[in-house]
Amino acid sequence: METLSAFSSPPWPNPNPNSNPNFLSSRHPDDEQSEPQSDALDAISSWSLDPQEHTDYPVSNSNSGPAPSPIPNHNFNSTLSSSPESVSVSPWAPLSLYHLSFNQDFGCFATGTDRGFRIYNCDPFREIFRRDFDRGGGIGVVEMLFRCNILALVGGGPDPQYPPSKVMIWDDHQSRCIGELSFRSDVRSVKLRRDRIIAVLEQKIFVYNFADLKLLHQIETIANPKGLCEVSQVAGSLVLVCPGLQKGQVRVEHYASKRTKFIMAHDSRIACFALSQDGQLLATASTKGTLVRIFNTADGTLLQEVRRGADRAEIYSLALSSSAQWLAVSSDKGTVHIFSLKVNSGSVVIDKPRGSSDPNHSASSPSSSLSFFKGVLPKYFNSEWSVAQFRLLEGLQYMVAFGHQKNTVVILGMDGSFYRCQFDPVNGGEMTQLEYHNFLKPEAPF
């Protein structure tokens, strides 16, 4: 059995350096879990010399000048090229996209490709920087830490840059990996907070302290090939959500209060879920893909249920607005739906006014005109439907998040498409497209 190990080295970079006033620092919560016994460990962690502190990237300027000189990582033979043009692969060759994800505040997004990774700003849209590797270069997971220089990388594709069973901690100031977490099986996803690193495997989740890579908690799950896991981002309170051990079940870990809550969310397997920033609200969808349910994570209460459609669909992403007033859903049906929620940030059900004449009143999710037959006809006829929609190509995978401008959403496609759209909170209906870009085009940096 492998054991946790660490090399003698200077301290791991502080995720919340006081010397950097631009970093949105957060206080470390208490160590919620006692240290696991060594005979239960399934991973090895290590870090390299001279790690630097975290700093934020600017949003208004793309990365200027060439990358710093590459420093070889003793565990791998690959090095970082000084510029995208110097790689052996032609910059005009088409990219293969392996990974697409937003950062924690949805102001940036990251892509993993067959050559490396790229980071983009959402509003205004621009490529912030890219890192293309000399040989191989396949990156299957890229997890940002807000806008700072630290990222988590996992190799992917037929020619991975790193083993898919390792989480590599990349410091973009040094242009190299400064730490790693090694596992016995492939890593499905990684989640970061300023005080935690969460590695998600097929049937197990590991929670580490960011400051010293100490393993704090292990969680067993049902088969989780998508690497489903979400964590809250509010300072001082850590809430983690993952699949449970039964079909349709989600597990909620409240680390501050040391409580675990199991919620039977659906009859079918969990396909997707989203957690509010404060960890109080949870939106879930099953593999059936017709209904989305909103739960109170504290007690598991079902607060609201909305209907995407009548036929089966694969739900690709769910997103809760920062105010918990809106829910966005994308699926393989090619439509992004916006739903009006009847819950506030405190998870209390609110009856919203239905009048649309007052501009301060938002649209309510429409119900079927046959709702007066509630209790007689199937639940379908009393369903809450979306108030706004945006039509896309059917069958393509899209991710959605709420934009920083009011009543806007950002939609990312695995075909390289970037949409920013606006919805009418009063009248609903078809969303207005504000802009479109293809972030996979060679001329993307501008």
Would the pLDDT of 12 be above 80?
A: no
Residue 212 half-sphere exposure toward CB, CA atoms < 13 A = 10
Q: How many residues does the chain have?
A: 446
Mean pLDDT of 139-148: 94
Residue 241, pLDDT > 70, answer yes
Measured between alpha carbons, how far is 383 from 129 in angstroms, rounded to an integer?
A: 44
pLDDT of 84 > 80? The answer is: no
Q: Which helix (H) or strand (E) holds 191?
A: strand 187-192
Closest CA to 326 of 362, 289, 285: 362
- Which amino acid would we find at residue 381? F
Higher pLDDT, 319 or 378: 319
Average pLDDT value for residue range 318-344: 90
Q: What is the mean pLDDT of residues 6-31?
A: 35
CA distance 112 to 153: 9
Query: Any idea what the Cα angle at residue 228 is, between residues 226 and 230, rounded to 5°?
Result: 155
Task: Find how far residue 432's CA is from the centre of its chain.
Answer: 25
Q: Does residue 8 have a pLDDT over 70? A: no
- Taking CA 149 as the corner, what is the angle to CA 397 and CA 88, rounded to the nearest 5 degrees? 65
State the Cα–Cα distance between residues 62 and 17, nearest whole angstrom. 24
**Does 443 or 383 have the greater pLDDT score?**
383
Which helix (H) or strand (E) is 440 found in, with range? none
**CA-to-CA distance for 420 and 290, rounded, in angstroms?**
25
Return the closest-CA partner of residue 367 out of 392, 386, 345.
386
Residue 404 clears pLDDT 70, i.e. is over it? yes
E strand segments, 258-406: 259-264, 270-275, 281-286, 291-296, 302-307, 315-320, 326-331, 335-340, 388-391, 398-402
CA 193 to chain centre: 11
Q: How many CA atoms lie within 13 A of 34 on its CB side?
A: 2
pLDDT in tens, 105-137: 999 999 999 999 999 999 999 999 899 988 778
So what's the pLDDT on residue 275? 95
Residue 208 has pLDDT above 90, yes or no: yes
For residue 32, is pLDDT > 70? no
In order of 166, 227, 231, 362, the CA distances from 187 in angstroms are 7, 8, 17, 42
Q: Is 223 helix (H, G, I), strand (E, B) or coil?
A: coil
Quick check: 298 pLDDT over 60?
yes
What span, in angstroms and rounded, lies between the C-alpha atoms of 329 and 285?
A: 10
Under the banding of pLDDT at 50, 70 and 90, the label for residue 200 is very high
Tell me what pLDDT residue 282 has. Answer: 96
State the Cα–Cα distance between residues 380 and 368, nearest whole angstrom.
8
CATH topology of domain 94-220: Methylamine Dehydrogenase; Chain H (2.130.10)
Q: Per-residue pLDDT for 144 more than 50?
A: yes
The answer on pLDDT for 297 being more than 80 is yes
Q: What is the mean pLDDT of residues 331-346?
A: 83
pLDDT(87) > 70: no
| 339: Cα within 13 Å, side-chain hemisphere | 26
pLDDT at res. 37: 38
| pLDDT above 90 as % of the chain | 54
pLDDT of residue 236: 78
Instruction: Examine the pLDDT at 432 and tell me if it is beyond 50.
Output: yes
What are residue 241's DSSP bridge partners? 230, 252
Check pLDDT > 80 for residue 260: yes
Average pLDDT score over residue span 403-415: 94
Say if residue 223's pLDDT is above 90.
yes
pLDDT in tens, 353-398: 333 334 444 555 555 444 444 454 455 445 688 889 999 988 889 9
| Residue 426 reports pLDDT greater than 80 | yes
| pTM exceeding the 0.85 threshold for the entire prediction | no
How would you class 181 by CB atoms within 10 Å of its CB: exposed for 0-12, middle for 13-18, buried for 19 or more? buried
Where residue 428 falls among pLDDT bands split at 50, 70, 90?
confident
- Considering the chain, tell me which residue range(s) the CATH 2.130.10.10 domain(s) occupy: 94-220, 226-342+381-445
**Is the predicted pLDDT of residue 327 greater than 50, yes or no?**
yes
Question: 389 and 433 in contact (C-beta within 8 Å)?
Answer: no
The contacts of residue 82 (CB under 8 Å, 6+ apart) are 66, 67, 69, 70
Residue 152 has a pLDDT of: 96
pLDDT of 311 above 70:
yes
Question: What tokens does 103 get?
Answer: 């950062």
Give the contacts of 112 (CB within 8 A, at least 6 positions apart): 97, 98, 99, 100, 138, 139, 140, 141, 142, 153, 156
Degrees (nearest 5) of the Cα angle 170, 86, 108?
40
Contact yes or no for 445/426 (Cβ under 8 A): no
Average pLDDT of the chain to the nearest whole number: 77
Instruction: Compute the average pLDDT of residues 208-219.
Output: 93
Q: What is the CATH number of domain 226-342+381-445?
A: 2.130.10.10
User: What sign does the CA torsion over 186, 114, 102, 387 have?
Assistant: negative
For residues 219 and 207, is the Cβ–Cβ distance under 8 A?
yes
Complete DSSP assignment for 305-339: EEE--SS---EEEEEE-TTSSEEEEEETTSEEEEE
| Lowest mean pLDDT segment, chosen from 57-61, 258-262, 432-436 | 57-61
